[in-house]
Structure 1
Amino acid sequence: MSRTLQILSNLRSVWVLLALGVVLSIASSHFATSNNLLNVALATSVTALLAVGQTFVIILGEIDLSVGATLSFTAAITALTLRHQPTLVGMVVGIGAGAVVGLVNGVLVTKMRLPSFIATLAMMSVLAGLALQVTQGNPVGVSDYSFQNIGQAYAAGIPVPVWIMAVVFLAFGLLLARTRFGRFVYATGDNEEAARLSGVPTHTVKIAAFVLSGSLAALAGFIITARLSTAEPTAGTGLELEAIAAVIIGGTSLAGGRGDMLGTVVGALILGVIDNGLNLLNVSPFLQSVVKGLVILAAVLLDRNAAVVRGWFTRTTTTERVTS
């Protein structure tokens, strides 16, 4: 019974996504068109990339509030580098900057023993200021055609950002589910002290997760910058909350130790579908935030109730074994 509940829990977000699709298809004749669905995937790609890195961090029982500011800062650094350097150099600099931010976050959390909420909140403020400082508060134009293709080109009729999102989800999904590092992430998030005593390098695992989060934030920044041909110093403002919401809606536990990449991608798509559907239905932008907030609240409540039900059935099964 507990195994059945676990499977149903893992599929919960998928059923929600399908139900939303059916409802919006009925409510609007424009929703289920191929062009609109591609637009949903394209609009979701940035949040999805941020959510991938956030998944690793949250499974570890931590949180990264700096990803939005990291996106803004690395986008600005990349755009400024592209003025004088080739495309590849600019991208390496951007990814490197994101990795350094993640490294600093990881060190603050593990070596300095700061709560991740405080450490990344402070980093968010620092990076937001740095992004404004290096750009002097002005957008930085990008004229590099090869770089622009990251956000504007199509391959086999599908936008390149959607392909990037798919490849990243597949690669990091396999990393989380099929590698030793992934097992270490789950073990550390479930019980850090027990994992450490079992030989898991818990500090290294956490630092690596924050580095992944920072690097993927930089990649998300590439997409926004390439799509707009401009790096905005405030481009990532608020996106950290979108990414966290996607991870939570996808079923990853804020307490750590549980979650998967499929749930995260579905959670990101749910947010994208809600945004798109509300726009098609001409719902007020102010009310859209209300709806998204209620969806996040419902996801957390469902997660808590599902955990209670799983625990009840687990206790029941254990009692049956003992008394039989």
Structure 2
Amino acid sequence: MTSINDESLSPPARSATAKGETIHWLSSLSAALRSGAVFILLAALLLGFTAAEPAFANIGNLMSILQAVAVVAILGAGVTVTLAVGGFDLSIGAVAASSVMAASYAMIVWGLDAVTTVPLVLAFGALVGLVNAFLIVRLKVPDLLATLSMMFLLSGLQLIPTAGRSISAGLILPDGTTATGAYDPAFLLIGRASLFGTVPVSVVLMALVAIALYVLTEHTRIGRLLFATGGNEVATRLAGASTARLKVLAYVISGTLASLGGIVIAARVGRGDVSSGGSLLMDAVAAALIGFAVLGKRRPNVLGAIVGAVFVGVLLNGLTMLNAPYYTQDFVKGAVLVGALALTYGLGRNNA
């Protein structure tokens, strides 16, 4: 066979070949940018903030960032699982806040220890997830309406046992008696202790949640069925999978993780603050949605949610160290979300 090189081609043919190679190169570059955009931006933020304020790169500050975003990342992972089945859990912030109150009430009013309190609060979150799933799966209530209703219900319910007061040692109950319990020191270690004096326990919990859910969603049959349910529920059901059970599983996981986040908050602040969890919902949703842009997957993914939470945490911490006004933080988070999603879907459209 005779080999064909560029010299043997006519000028129009060489032009067409060069154009094709250019288009292929641009397409590959666009795909690479789409897949790594968030990581590139994260690296740029780290370098920029370090150059502006060298103390930013201190290991203590970096661990402080991870500790600050641990709860948001855990909740964002829960939201991601419900997004995978085509749902959306708007109750996670309220579940986390109610779990803060429940953990505090259990120890300060009932006098329980950490070994009893932690499973009890996690069971509470799982129960809320079951109720959400019952409303959505059995009663056919749209997921947004069901979880929004649960959010309002829990937001009011958590205030009733203490008549709207925060829970701390010496709490005066509505009946006039004084609570005699206190926080178990072992419980406080969850939010305040560090492994090897460096890595906070809450960061370890975040990593364990991320690894467990990543393996579940990306490397198991159940994970594939979760995404299949969100992609085409009817086809998944016709293929023999129980989409009802998959949805129940997703909402139970979300509720349990929200309670875990509440436990971490309670252990960190050492009191049941009625205002806790105010911004958790929006922050967790932002992390989950930024996750769509990670690795260019353009779908819910647990790794993306964790990276999204860390990305926002780095951004806000850096701005704080540079003395940026606090009232710009929500704007910055919104701009990051819009930019990440626009970059992902915009480049994807150009590639199509």
TM-score (norm 1): 0.90
Query: Paired residue for 2:176?
Result: none
* SS at structure 1 position matched to 2:165: coil
- Any gaps of 5 or more consecutive residues in structure 2? 1-23, 169-181
Query: Paired residue for 1:237?
Result: 278
Distance 1:206 1:38 in 2: 35
Distance 1:213 1:289 in 2: 24
TM-score (norm 2): 0.83
Distance 2:140 2:298 in 1: 20
Q: 1:105 to 1:272 in 2, by over 3 A?
A: same
| Residue 80 (1) aligns with residue 101 (2) | no
Q: 1:20 to 1:233 in 2, by over 3 A?
A: same
TM-superposed deviation, 1:12: 2.7
Query: Paired residue for 1:51?
Result: 76
Work out whether residues 105 and 120 of structure 1, in 8 Å CA contact, stay in contact via their aligned partners in 2: yes
2:135 to 108, 111, 118: 108
1:61 to 86, 97, 118: 86
Distance 2:31 2:228 in 1: 18
**1:194-209 alignment to 2 at 5 Å?**
194-209=235-250
**1:30-49 alignment to 2 at 5 Å?**
30-49=55-74
Query: Paired residue for 1:158?
Result: 199
One-letter code aligned to 1:305: G
TM-superposed deviation, 1:238: 2.0
Superimposed CA distance per residue, residues 182-220 of structure 1 (whole angstroms, 9 cap, x where no aligned partner): 111111111111111111211111111111011001111
Question: Which protein shows a greater Rg?
Answer: 2
* SS at structure 2 position matched to 1:250: helix
Work out whether residues 59 and 252 of structure 1, in 8 Å CA contact, stay in contact via their aligned partners in 2: no
TM-superposed deviation, 1:3: 9.0
Query: Paired residue for 1:146?
Result: 186
Query: Paired residue for 1:274?
Result: 315
Distance 1:6 1:113 in 2: 39
TM-superposed deviation, 1:5: 6.5
TM-superposed deviation, 1:293: 1.2
One-letter code aligned to 1:251: F
- Structure 1: which 4+ aligned runs deviate by more than 4 Å? 1-8
Identity of aligned residues (%): 35
Distance 2:184 2:280 in 1: 25
Work out whether residues 71 and 217 of structure 1, in 8 Å CA contact, stay in contact via their aligned partners in 2: yes
Distance 2:248 2:35 in 1: 27
- Any gaps of 5 or more consecutive residues in structure 1? 313-324
* SS at structure 1 position matched to 2:161: helix
One-letter code aligned to 1:108: L
Q: How many residues of Structure 1 are paired with residues of Structure 2 in the alignment?
A: 309
* SS at structure 1 position matched to 2:55: coil
